[in-house]
Amino acid sequence: MATLLYRLGKFSYRHRWLVISLWLAVLVAVGGSAAAFHGTMSNNFQIPGTETQRMLDKLKADLPEASGGSAGIVFEAGSSGFDQAGKDAVAAALAKLEKLPTVQSTVNPFETQAELDKAPAAVEQGEKQAAAGNAQLEQARAQLAAGEAQLKAAEEQMAAAGLPAAAIDAQLGPQKAQLAAGKAKLDAGRKQAAEGAEKLALAKRQLQASEGMRFVSEDSRAAIAQVQFKTSINALTPADRQEVQDISHEVSSAGVTALASKEITEDVSQLFGVAEIVGIAVAALALIVMLGTLIAAGLPLLMALVGVAVGVGGTFALTGVIDMSSISPMLALMLGLAVGIDYSLFIVNRHRGQLLAGMDPEESAALATGTSGNAVLFAGLTVVIALAALVVPGLPFLAVMGLSAAATVAVAVVVSLTLTPAVLSLIGPRLISRRAWAKAARHNAEPGHESADRAADAAKSNRGWGGLVTRHPVWSLLAGVVLLGVLALPASQLRLALPDGGSEPVESQAFQAYDLTRKSFGEGVTGPIVVVGELPGGLSDSEAVNKQLDVAEELRSVDKVVAAVPVALSPATGSDGHRTAVFQVIPQDGPASESTVHVVSELRAKGSDIAADTGVTIGLTGQTAGNVDVSEKLGAALPPYLAIVVGLSVILLLLVFRSVVVPLLATGGFLLSLAAAFGAVVAVYQWGWLGAVFDVANPGAVLSFLPIILIGVLFGLAMDYQVFITSGMRESYMHGENARQAVRSGFSHAAAVVTAAAIIMVSVFAGFIFSHLTMVRPLGFAMAFGVLVDAFVVRMTILPAAMYLLGEKAWWLPRWLDRVLPDVDVEGASLERAGARAGAPDDAGEAKELVP
């Protein structure tokens, strides 16, 4: 592979304009495709086959008008509450919203609250009327009974007097007819009273069902309106969302503030924000400091931007045909920038060192591609495999996320191996400053400088951080393990959920809407649970309504359920009757809270009792229940995915380093850094530690798919640093140094470039900690922190200390396994053996060292 990459580097160097033209053509093609075919991104994390998806499909079939997404708009008046002008302004805005093509209907909070407020009085009035009617019926019944008794006595008296039956009937006939009419009237009254009693009982049950529901706050300062859309929330375009907000904000003319919920305000169409640009600027500064010139620093940045443009642009082009979450291109962007800069830096740094040592520029670019490029290829392959393995859990949105990020990383690798040597050919000697050239010329002109350089390298390897760690290996190893162990302690409290409005920035409209709703109506109103019931066949209207109320009573009996309100009933279809009922269940706490997760579980467990008692089969759907499903599925997928990644780590490192111990050390270090990253995320985003620093105003559960993504990404990046550090140690060991000195030499040669790469990657990831998309923030933090501890604590402290202690044992490999394993030659030693380079420095490590 090293020889093939050497030839590829030489071809790219010689045919620079062809390579550059091809990449320009790819950029134009991808950009045109993204502009022409891109669709709307969403944050739809539904999983096909789950109960939530089945119930949603049922709603689309039976009650299409209730299957679209819904969202809240909360209106806030001044301290005196809503006046008539404010109420009229809200009503006008809602009426205008109903005319939008995307809106199915709206619920006026004042009209609905007025009906709820009138309901108790209406029921009381009905009870009084029913009591008065019953009293009248009783009086009429008593009068009829007295009339019947009188008529019977008169009939007996006439019969005793000897009058014939015909005479009796003729004489008492009018009284009998009058009595029969009275009976008929009484029966009609009784029937009417029974119907009234049935309606009154139904009204009482409906009143009971609406208990706990309010649309206007007790102090009349807040009102919440529901907007039902014709499509899912995720299908709304940014223009649709903005139009809803603009119309809502028209109420400001009446002194009313409108605050739309997160479902409406969330705009996932924009990738870059100010924070991301700052992160790239910090990375650029690190490159300038490390490489010495703007041209040299700009080259890795340019390569990363080309890779990101192609990878993310291709991802955007597919949004028209693939349902893609907003996190997919963001993850691809984060990784593409970070690895794109690092991979190009490794090749540029090697080329720069070789040029200063006097190597021919073309040969140097080819050799850098064959050696450092070989390590880049392997390192990139580990990231690609780890990300592509996200298809294993079987979650469609996660698979799309992993594959899009893997494709972007793959593009970054190809850009580094082809476009980098082509641009190096174009730049020529300008890659290095005149001062550095002059210093190198003086140094190379000195007689015997090769021996002096080797002596200087040996002395240097005993100094610095590597020298300190290897002089005190036991303490270094213990300190590193203890530090990561302490950082990992909060990870035991990890709780997963998808974010709600409470996780948004405090100044955002979404957070203000969430906060006002929580304070005025209860936190559960911010995330209601939708329950769908399948009714038995053949029910009449009244039977269906009563059956619906029976189910609502059962739902209200679940602990920490504030209200369970019937909200819709499918139309009767012939003899089948009403078949589908919809309920809105309001939990006590917010949608991302632990108690709401228990409510969802309890509601599902209650399903068997409801079916036994009422004959109604229930299922849960909606955003809250769907988010709980996603979090549970992701949590269940973590152990097998981690096992796949760890197993892959051991096999790949066994191939690369031909050692049993090194893969185990690398994998153990990866697990330590992963646990520490989890612990830091829990401390900051779940417990709120340093919340003011990281803008975490309302700490809560951790983003549900953060752990599985972090495992894949951190594994790949950790293996990058493992390859670049340990390959130098193995190279020194294979060149004849004793095992312990090889640890120092290899560390010395790789430390500077790995330090630069880690700083750059942490800077890029840290830029996303303050992203305009709050869902991305904990992911950026986790990646930045994970890379930080893995690079500096695991790879640059624990690993060299452990390998120094092990000595020769670190490179132990059974003979039979040595014969079976293929030689992947990550260090590019085959190039040296084949004599593929000319005029290269004798010391293999000299080319690796970052020249100041």
Taking the model in full, what pTM does it have?
0.78
Helices assigned H by DSSP within 318-360: 327-356
φ/ψ of 827, rounded to 5, equals: -75, -10
Residue ranges per structural domain of the chain: 1-37+294-431, 64-111+215-265, 118-208, 508-627
User: 125-129, 570-574, 666-670, 751-755 — which one is most confidently predicted on average?
Assistant: 666-670
Structural element, H or E, at residue 740: helix 739-766
Report which of residues 825 and 245 the model is more confident about.
245
Q: Is the pLDDT of residue 461 over 70?
A: no
pLDDT at position 24, please? 93
Rounded CA Rg of the chain: 38
Report which of residues 12 and 396 the model is more confident about.
12
Categorize the per-residue pLDDT at 42 as very low, low, confident or very high, splitting at 50, 70 and 90. low
Q: Give the span between the Cα atoms of 702 and 712, in whole angstroms.
A: 17
Helices assigned H by DSSP within 357-395: 361-388
- Domain 1-37+294-431 sits in CATH at 1.20.1640.10
Angle at 746 between CA 711 and CA 762, to 5 degrees: 35
Minimum mean pLDDT range among 3-12, 72-81, 813-822? 813-822
Q: Give the span between the Cα atoms of 235 and 67, in whole angstroms.
A: 13
The model's pLDDT over 591-626, given as tens digits with 9 standing for 90+, comes to: 878 888 899 999 999 999 999 989 999 999 888 888
Minimum mean pLDDT range among 132-136, 636-640, 832-836? 832-836
Report which of residues 374 and 40 the model is more confident about.
374
Minimum mean pLDDT range among 76-80, 302-306, 601-605, 833-837? 833-837
Residue 604, Cβ density class (10 Å: 0-12 exposed, 13-18 middle, ≥19 buried): middle
Q: Is the pLDDT of residue 77 over 70?
A: yes
Cβ-Cβ contacts under 8 Å for 196 (sequence gap 6 or more): 126, 129, 130, 133
Considering the chain, what percentage of its residues have pLDDT values greater than 90? 22
pLDDT at position 208, please? 77
pLDDT at position 704, please? 82
Bridge partners for 70 per DSSP:
228
pLDDT (mean) for 242-258: 92
pLDDT at position 724, please? 79
Minimum mean pLDDT range among 133-137, 303-307, 764-768, 826-830? 826-830
Give the orientation angle of helix 16-37 with respect to helix 294-317, to 10 degrees.
40
Q: Please give the single-letter amino acid code of residue 531.
A: V
Categorize the per-residue pLDDT at 836 as very low, low, confident or very high, splitting at 50, 70 and 90. very low
pLDDT at position 832, please? 58
Classify the C-alpha dihedral 192-197-198-200 as positive or negative: positive
pLDDT at position 849, please? 35
Among 406, 408, 416, CA closest to 385 = 406
pLDDT at position 850, please? 33
Q: Please give the single-letter amino acid code of residue 20.
A: I
The model's pLDDT over 678-704, given as tens digits with 9 standing for 90+, comes to: 999 999 999 989 888 888 877 888 888
pLDDT (mean) for 388-398: 80
pLDDT at position 273, please? 61
pLDDT at position 11, please? 92
pLDDT at position 110, please? 92
Sheet holding 103-107, edge to edge: 103-107, 222-229, 70-76, 257-260
Q: Give the span between the Cα atoms of 106 and 6, in whole angstroms.
A: 66
pLDDT at position 267, please? 63
- 64-111+215-265: CATH architecture: 2-Layer Sandwich (3.30)
pLDDT at position 304, please? 87
Pick the CATH number of 508-627 from 3.30.70.1320, 3.90.1720.10, 3.20.20.80, 3.30.420.40: 3.30.70.1320
pLDDT (mean) for 510-527: 89
Q: Average pLDDT of the chain?
A: 83
The model's pLDDT over 399-458, given as tens digits with 9 standing for 90+, comes to: 888 888 889 999 999 999 999 999 999 988 888 877 777 776 665 666 655 565 555 565
Q: Give the span between the Cα atoms of 697 and 591, in whole angstroms.
A: 17
Categorize the per-residue pLDDT at 846 as very low, low, confident or very high, splitting at 50, 70 and 90. very low
Question: For residue 101, what are its two tokens?
Answer: 């093509």
Q: How many residues does the chain have?
A: 852
Cβ-Cβ contacts under 8 Å for 347 (sequence gap 6 or more): 368, 369, 372, 373, 376, 416, 417, 420, 421
Q: Is the pLDDT of residue 720 over 70?
A: yes
Whether the domain at 64-111+215-265 and the domain at 508-627 fall into the same CATH topology: yes
* Buried-state track 479-492, b at ≥16 Cβ within 10 A, e below 16: bbbebbeebbebbe
Question: For residue 608, what are its two tokens?
Answer: 């068997």
Under DSSP, is residue 616 helix (H, G, I), strand (E, B) or coil?
Answer: coil
pLDDT at position 433, please? 75
CA distances from 322 to 318, 404, 747, 773 (A): 6, 11, 45, 21
Strand-strand pairing, 580-587 and 529-534: antiparallel
Q: Is the pLDDT of residue 490 over 90?
A: yes
CA 751 to chain centre: 35
| Secondary structure (DSSP) of 64-92 | GGGSS-EEEEEEE--TT---HHHHHHHHH
pLDDT at position 150, please? 84
